[in-house]
Structure 1
Amino acid sequence: MTTNEETPLHSKKSRGPKPVALPRPLAMALCACGLLSLPLAGQAQSAQTPTATVEIIGTSPLPGQGVDRNLLPYSTQSVRRERLDESKADNLIDFMNRNLPGVQVNDVQGSPFQGDLTYRGFRASPLLGAAQGISVYLDGVRVNEPFGDVVNWDLIPEFSINSLTLVPGANPAFGLNTLGGALSFTTHSGLTAPGVRAEISAGSFGRKRLDLSYGTSDDTGWHSYVAGGLFDENGWRDHSDGRLGNVLAKVGHRAGDTEWDVALQLGRSRLVGNGLVPAYTLDEDGGVVTREPDLYANRRESVYTHPDRTTNRLAQLSLNMRHQIDATTELAALAYVRNSRRDTVNGDEAEEPDGDENASFNTTHTRQKSAGVALSLSGKTGAHQWQLGATVDGSRTRFHETEQEGFFDDSRGVLPGDEEAELGARVSGRSLAFGLYGTDTWRVAPRTHLTGTLRYNHARVSNQLTSVDDDTGAVNERPNEKFRYNSLNPALGIAHQLEGGPTLFANVARNNRVPTVIELGCADPEEPCRLPAGLQADPYLKQVVSRTAEVGMRWPLSRSLQFSAAAYRTINRDDILFRSVSATSQQGYFENFARTRHQGIDLDLQGRLGAVSWTLGYSFLQATYEANGVLRQGERNVTVVPGTRIAGLPKHSLKLGADWRFAPGWSVGGDVQALSRRGTAGNEDGRIEDDEDEIVDLGLPGHAVFNLRASWRPQVLPQQQGWEFFAKVNNVFDRRYESFGALAETVFTPTGSYSGDERDAVFVAPGAPRSFFVGARYRF
């Protein structure tokens, strides 16, 4: 047996999860996948039995001994560094968007490192106010920021990533916010990346990137690793330049049964994401709606208003330790401190224009300090493989927002006026989260394993708010508010391997997310706040409770052909949604929504035929509101009923990739992502006005994007050492497409001049045009 061992993942009481019947379309689709695989199964059975490969997956954020992937009762996706390099993707989120079934990225901001990532409809996003539903870990440290659970992709040291693993569903072992899944990254050390590694690339939009690392180890057990990266671009849209830099340094020691490492991570970025732009305006006359081209239709690179600049800084120190107590028992520990800063500058329309002062110049300053410890004990006892753990995470947040009257220049940039900036809101918040969990995989029969998990979460969130009365200008300091949340979350699943055939699995799970400081501080519809700006009131919000049911199969059809399928349903109760007052001014408030549902199927087929390796992934997603309610979307009050689709999520997505090694050292390949149409926010009920009966579909059309890549190694050395030169073309056919849409109002003419007249318009997040990049990679 050969072993390919993945680093494990840093991986009011309610009733447990109820069995959920799969919708008929999902059940039929899953059965169809099995039938389509039968001819391939026959091929597999006629071939020689392949050597078994054991892929070890962690069952919690903290490293333990891990469990064979085939024994787990849920689907997982795990990727090593080699595949990241071979894909030639622009960055981590671009790789996941191209390759992982169920994942998509909306270019809401327009910056390559500010992508709004969704998995099965749940988000891991840098956008403050997004309904976050995926927990993200880096070497066991949770990187969802305390203020809004946002994920700053620009602060993840991409060149140092050794592996990534995506675990689906409301898995309680991964702690708070794991509603739709958990994403874990592990980084290199001097043991896994010895010697020199370097990569440099350049191309369209003035984009330049340099990454460099050096790792070393010796016979005494000491090892060290340091890596750094720089990125700079002008951006393909107007006024959208960006730059970032990060450093990761590690030192560690392995002696006997004990190993440890200390890691220091530093990062800084200055990114500009100018958001949505009006594609066309709407004119209704006698029940007939006409569409007139606007800024985006007239010029692809246009932005609506600017600036929209975000500066992030990070300093983090972490300690990871593992000790082998005996042949079957291991102790792991983690401690970290994390300090992050975010400063934003944003130009918007004025809420109440006054003469030449027709704009608003807004700034925010966020300071976050967090620290945590975690402990895990894992082992094997007879037919049981178990893990016990505890986590404590605390944070302190300080937030300050100012508003200043301004005016638009000829490029729709906002310049501050003569009046001094005024306080919009200020908040000081604290949070403390404690988790205690246990998980056990029990071999109840030679080919049958039962996995159970139980976790208790306790969280406290407190706010001290200061706001300004809109009428009197008086500064009001609110009383300190404290909120407590408790939840006991179970999971239970079974995996059974058929003799000579697939592994079938089924799982049910429950987890929760508690409101963050930003959500509790902006929850009053009478006093809406500006995001990513002001906080005005702090009514109580309920915690979100998520329940997932999943069934599927994993089928190694042959040594060179792997198939997997999963059908799932996740129901959220008391989901926390941001109900915007204005899509262009970013005002709104947070509120619980009774029930939402995400259900669908993910299919994945990977194979190799001679010198060609290929992957095929398909996802079907139904993301819907499942209660009656009224959502504030942009300038509209949208009435939703059970079955109303959530905007911005395509029902169908298809991903296909292939690479052909046609000669020694040479490789060419490509990939395509095809997505079906998606709804536009503010048009979920089919209307463009609250008091009109006409139904108009403003959904974005489906699209497909094709990318090409090629590489050449002058000298083929072991372990991919030496030089590699590569080139790639993104969006080969220069397809004009949009990844997100929202119904809002524009105050500019189609040529970009300020008019002050509000016109209904569909705003879109445009996809990047065709681009070319070349680069070189060195490893020795």
Structure 2
Amino acid sequence: MNFVPRATSVILNSSTKVVGKDWKLASVGAALLSLAPLAQAEDATQTEKRLETVTVQAAKATPVQAAQAQLDEIPGGTGLVQQAEVEKGRSATLEDTLAYQPGVYAQAAGGNDAIKISIRGSGANTSPGYFREGTKFLFDGLALTGAGGTPYELLDTQGLSYTEVLRGANAFEYGALSLGGAINFVTNSGLTAPGNRIKVEGGSFGWQKQTLSTGGVAGNADYFISVDNSKRDGYQDFTFTKAKGVVTNFGYRFNPKLETRLYIRYREEYHENSGALTLAQLKKNSSQTNPSTRATRGDSTKEGSTWVGSKTTYTFDDDSTLVAGLVYHNYPQILSKKSTVNPNYWDWRDINYSLKYTRSDQLFGLPSTTSVGWSSTQHIRSGVRTYSGDKDLGRLQKQVEYDGSFDHVFSLGNDLGLTDNLYLSTGLSAIEVKRNVDVNFSDRPNTSGIPSHYRYQEWKLAPRVGLRYYLTPDVQVFGNVSRSIDPPSSWSSSGSGVTTNFAKTLVPQSANTVELGIRGRSEIFDGSLTLYKSWIKDELLNVEILPATNTSAAVVSTANASPTIHQGIEAGLTTKLWQRDNGDVLSWRQAYTLNDFHYRNDPLFAKNELPGLPKHIYQGELFYQYANGFYAGVNVRSASSTAVDYANSFYAPSYTLWGARLGYDAPNKTWQVYLDLKNLTDKDYVTALVPSYDAKGQDTASLYPGDGFGAYTGIAYNF
């Protein structure tokens, strides 16, 4: 009797693509599985056999694994940070989240969210306390950054699942055209973080933080809600900060093809501004503030910032997808509210749109993935009013409006499999930049010769081409050539300063970049090495023109520079040094960044290096993870000296900081506890600075001190 199998099927269930050799392997596997029962039938001469369906199901990739797989398909420098790993120690600001990321500089001044963040030197001259520039920030793929830059109060670690770091043109997917690339924060959902959680943290300098969260699934819907409250008295005098906020993520799946998500972030924050010191003051007592900061009572009040985002995804029959996003962002702020010197009131309201279509198909008979995207960020209401003294009792000194300023980006990209091992990535972005700056009131005449109104509107192109070649399935070399466009922030033409009662005619910065690198992972090693060089035209640089006094605020100006160079090395490596049979692991994590940023041939400063960032930065941690959940590690951060002025006459000194952390993460994930020790030797060091024009070798008050020795602890309970 001839035997015919009832059914044989192979089901591959994974969110990652199966291409090249992996697809061939899957096909061979399917064929072998189909032939196996037939071979058995030939041996069965008398006995009739009935075989049930054979199903092979691959383990479905987690969201983090899927995100890492997508990043690995970008021919350039990227990184991914799991928040669960960060929370094995202090998680107070993005300084903690973005540690050990090559090419990324993230340092807090004063312990609040207004930290200094720079990728590849983009926005390196922007001091702490200002909106971030030179890098695009997103939540769940939806823009936070607008035409005015990035407000910082929402840049906290609450409710995060993981963070994607895409350096330079490698952020093409998110419509980011800036030299620094993009940072995308991905929120927990009810699917990834079900259950309830209570977390309490505290430590040195009066730091306290309490977090409550809950998440779950109800039919086709899921939800995640997190609330937090924090305060810190501060290491440096006059750096008190307090904040509270809410993060939510609601999802609904209408059918297998259509799903939508609603994200809401709300945060209130108040902090006193860190005061810049001279090097002599910092060495004598790094916890002091400067007299002008104390006298003018400089502070920042975020009365309530609201970010509401919606993202809807539709999957077509051919597995192509259409993703539509909409964001409303309202973020008012008051600077120097308690000051008798120029308190200023800012009104910011943005609306952001995005639309992206992605299709996997054949092009010239080769596997191809094509994407078409459009994104827009626009001020629908924005401006600042500066007063002399209290708003209600003082008089209006200056009013500026930025309404209608926008960035529109249209992008077309393709990833083409030339062979099983070689892939070509191409892309072209067109950006329309509009800046509308109107100084519509000033209590003093404009004698500068610069107009009081500036309107700039222009289209620019940013092409990109890259290659990646797989030496093995887990090791690849890559390279790309790209062009970046950085429009000036709306407020940089004319901000709150009463002496700058005019609108500077700033133009977008542009750069051509070449990047080469290698990345890979094995049982022992996981790392990457990237080299890049950018030729920049009209770089947007900041400089302090006049320092703050007891009767006036500091005057900081932005200008387009003569041609500059940004080049560097970004290296990251995690090595498994030893593993016991019971699962204990000793690992060594390292990150090294070389920052070489300088003028090409400036008439005044020749080839001087640009101030703001150390040339060399190294971070390392020796970490022992016990199989039973206990862990302990020692870490180091070392930075070389940093130029303070464009004349390179004054440098902040180099430093090395030591730290340690230990804790316990219960195997059943019911509770966690940690102890994190920072700056064990109580080293005085400079964490950030205010660039000056020419210090003439003098010790100027341009240096922000970092925290002294601190101990931080936290405990979390999940139920």
Identify the TM-score tier after normalising by the shorter chain. 0.7 to 0.9
Q: CA deviation at 1:537?
A: 1.2
Judged with a 3 Å threshold, the aligned counterparts in structure 2 of structure 1 residues 240 and 500 are, in CA distance, closer, same or farther, namely: closer
Q: CA deviation at 1:269?
A: 0.3
1:137 matched to 2:111: no
What is the rounded CA distance, in whole Å, between the counterparts of 1:319 and 1:129 in structure 2? 27
Q: Indicate the residue corresponding to 1:330 in structure 2.
A: 321
Say whether the 8 Å CA contact 1:424–1:534 is kept in structure 2. Answer: no
1:592 matched to 2:576: no
Query: Which of 636, 648, 653 is the matching residue for 1:701?
Result: 653
What is the rounded CA distance, in whole Å, between the counterparts of 1:542 and 1:482 in structure 2? 11
The alignment of Structure 1 onto Structure 2 pairs a total of residues equal to 641
Judged with a 3 Å threshold, the aligned counterparts in structure 2 of structure 1 residues 119 and 601 are, in CA distance, closer, same or farther, namely: same
Name whichever of 615-624 and 457-466 sits farther off: 457-466
Query: Which of 621, 639, 651 is the matching residue for 2:595?
Result: 621
1:268 matched to 2:289: no
Could you state the TM-score of these two structures normalised by the residue count of structure 1? 0.76
Say whether the 8 Å CA contact 1:126–1:150 is kept in structure 2. Answer: no
Judged with a 3 Å threshold, the aligned counterparts in structure 2 of structure 1 residues 242 and 130 are, in CA distance, closer, same or farther, namely: closer
What is the rounded CA distance, in whole Å, between the counterparts of 1:394 and 1:471 in structure 2? 31
Q: Deviations over 1:552-571 (max 9, x none)?
A: 11132x22311311100122
In structure 1, list runs of 5 or more residues that go unmatched: 7-50, 59-63, 281-294, 349-359, 406-415, 523-528, 630-638, 687-697, 746-758
Query: 1:1-400 maps to which residues of 2 (within 5 A)?
Result: 68-96=70-98, 98-107=99-108, 109-123=109-123, 127=128, 132-147=133-148, 149-152=149-152, 154-156=153-155, 158-171=157-170, 172-175=172-175, 178-218=178-218, 220-254=219-253, 255-280=255-280, 295-304=281-290, 305-306=293-294, 307-312=297-302, 313-345=304-336, 361-382=341-362, 383-400=367-384
Q: Deviations over 1:466-511 (max 9, x none)?
A: 2435469x9x998754320211111001011124783111101112
- The two structures, once aligned, show a CA RMSD in angstroms of 3.3
What is the rounded CA distance, in whole Å, between the counterparts of 1:315 and 1:518 in structure 2? 20
What is the rounded CA distance, in whole Å, between the counterparts of 1:431 and 1:560 in structure 2? 50
Q: Indicate the residue corresponding to 2:400 in structure 1.
A: 426
What is the rounded CA distance, in whole Å, between the counterparts of 1:176 and 1:118 in structure 2? 15
Q: Indicate the residue corresponding to 2:515 in structure 1.
A: 550
1:675 matched to 2:639: yes
Say whether the 8 Å CA contact 2:131–2:151 is kept in structure 1. Answer: no
Q: CA deviation at 1:54?
A: 8.3
Q: Deviations over 1:174-197 (max 9, x none)?
A: 435521221111111111111112
Q: CA deviation at 1:388?
A: 1.0
Q: Deviations over 1:205-263 (max 9, x none)?
A: 11100111101103x31111111111111111112110011101232211321111112
What is the rounded CA distance, in whole Å, between the counterparts of 1:299 and 1:94 in structure 2? 25
What is the rounded CA distance, in whole Å, between the counterparts of 2:690 and 2:559 in structure 1? 20
Q: Indicate the residue corresponding to 1:443 in structure 2.
A: 417
Judged with a 3 Å threshold, the aligned counterparts in structure 2 of structure 1 residues 150 and 316 are, in CA distance, closer, same or farther, namely: closer
Query: 1:530-541 maps to which residues of 2 (within 5 A)?
Result: 530=497, 535-541=500-506
Say whether the 8 Å CA contact 1:661–1:668 is kept in structure 2. Answer: yes
The residue identity in structure 2 corresponding to 1:518 is W
Q: CA deviation at 1:101?
A: 1.4
1:734 matched to 2:682: yes
1:567 matched to 2:531: yes
Say whether the 8 Å CA contact 2:213–2:225 is kept in structure 1. Answer: yes
Say whether the 8 Å CA contact 2:376–2:408 is kept in structure 1. Answer: yes
Query: Which of 690, 709, 713 is the matching residue for 1:770?
Result: 709
Say whether the 8 Å CA contact 2:117–2:132 is kept in structure 1. Answer: no
What is the rounded CA distance, in whole Å, between the counterparts of 1:521 and 1:672 in structure 2? 41
What is the rounded CA distance, in whole Å, between the counterparts of 2:355 and 2:334 in structure 1? 34
Q: CA deviation at 1:278?
A: 2.2
Q: CA deviation at 1:428?
A: 4.4
Say whether the 8 Å CA contact 1:65–1:379 is kept in structure 2. Answer: no
Say whether the 8 Å CA contact 2:83–2:97 is kept in structure 1. Answer: no
1:490 matched to 2:485: no
Q: Deviations over 1:584-638 (max 9, x none)?
A: 3421433211212110111111122312233111111201122424xxxxxxxxx
Say whether the 8 Å CA contact 2:596–2:609 is kept in structure 1. Answer: yes
3-state SS of the aligned residue for 2:87? helix
The residue identity in structure 2 corresponding to 1:593 is A
In structure 2, list runs of 5 or more residues that go unmatched: 1-11, 18-57, 580-584
Q: Indicate the residue corresponding to 2:9 in structure 1.
A: none
Q: Indicate the residue corresponding to 1:634 in structure 2.
A: none
Q: Deviations over 1:57-110 (max 9, x none)?
A: 99xxxxx999644432112101223222234343323231x3111222344x42
**Percent same amino acid at aligned positions?**
18
What is the rounded CA distance, in whole Å, between the counterparts of 1:404 and 1:159 in structure 2? 37
Say whether the 8 Å CA contact 1:114–1:273 is kept in structure 2. Answer: no
Judged with a 3 Å threshold, the aligned counterparts in structure 2 of structure 1 residues 626 and 276 are, in CA distance, closer, same or farther, namely: same
Q: Indicate the residue corresponding to 2:44 in structure 1.
A: none
3-state SS of the aligned residue for 1:647? coil
Q: Indicate the residue corresponding to 2:428 in structure 1.
A: 454
Query: 1:599-618 maps to which residues of 2 (within 5 A)?
Result: 599-608=567-576, 609-610=578-579, 611-618=585-592
The residue identity in structure 1 corresponding to 2:361 is T
Say whether the 8 Å CA contact 2:374–2:411 is kept in structure 1. Answer: yes
Say whether the 8 Å CA contact 1:743–1:762 is kept in structure 2. Answer: no
3-state SS of the aligned residue for 2:123? strand
The residue identity in structure 2 corresponding to 1:235 is G
Could you state the TM-score of these two structures normalised by the residue count of structure 2? 0.82
What is the rounded CA distance, in whole Å, between the counterparts of 2:306 and 2:687 in structure 1? 33
Judged with a 3 Å threshold, the aligned counterparts in structure 2 of structure 1 residues 460 and 146 are, in CA distance, closer, same or farther, namely: closer
Judged with a 3 Å threshold, the aligned counterparts in structure 2 of structure 1 residues 743 and 565 are, in CA distance, closer, same or farther, namely: closer
Q: Indicate the residue corresponding to 2:622 in structure 1.
A: 658
Judged with a 3 Å threshold, the aligned counterparts in structure 2 of structure 1 residues 494 and 136 are, in CA distance, closer, same or farther, namely: same
3-state SS of the aligned residue for 2:341? strand
1:466 matched to 2:466: no
3-state SS of the aligned residue for 2:539? strand
Q: CA deviation at 1:770?
A: 0.4
What is the rounded CA distance, in whole Å, between the counterparts of 2:452 and 2:186 in structure 1? 42
Q: CA deviation at 1:760?
A: 5.9
What is the rounded CA distance, in whole Å, between the counterparts of 2:526 and 2:59 in structure 1? 12
Q: Deviations over 1:155-179 (max 9, x none)?
A: 1352211111111123444435521
The residue identity in structure 2 corresponding to 1:259 is E
Query: Which of 482, 486, 510 is the matching residue for 1:509?
Result: 482
What is the rounded CA distance, in whole Å, between the counterparts of 1:332 and 1:640 in structure 2? 48
Judged with a 3 Å threshold, the aligned counterparts in structure 2 of structure 1 residues 615 and 54 are, in CA distance, closer, same or farther, namely: farther
Q: Deviations over 1:723-751 (max 9, x none)?
A: 11211111111111113455879xxxxxx
What is the rounded CA distance, in whole Å, between the counterparts of 2:164 and 2:691 in structure 1? 36
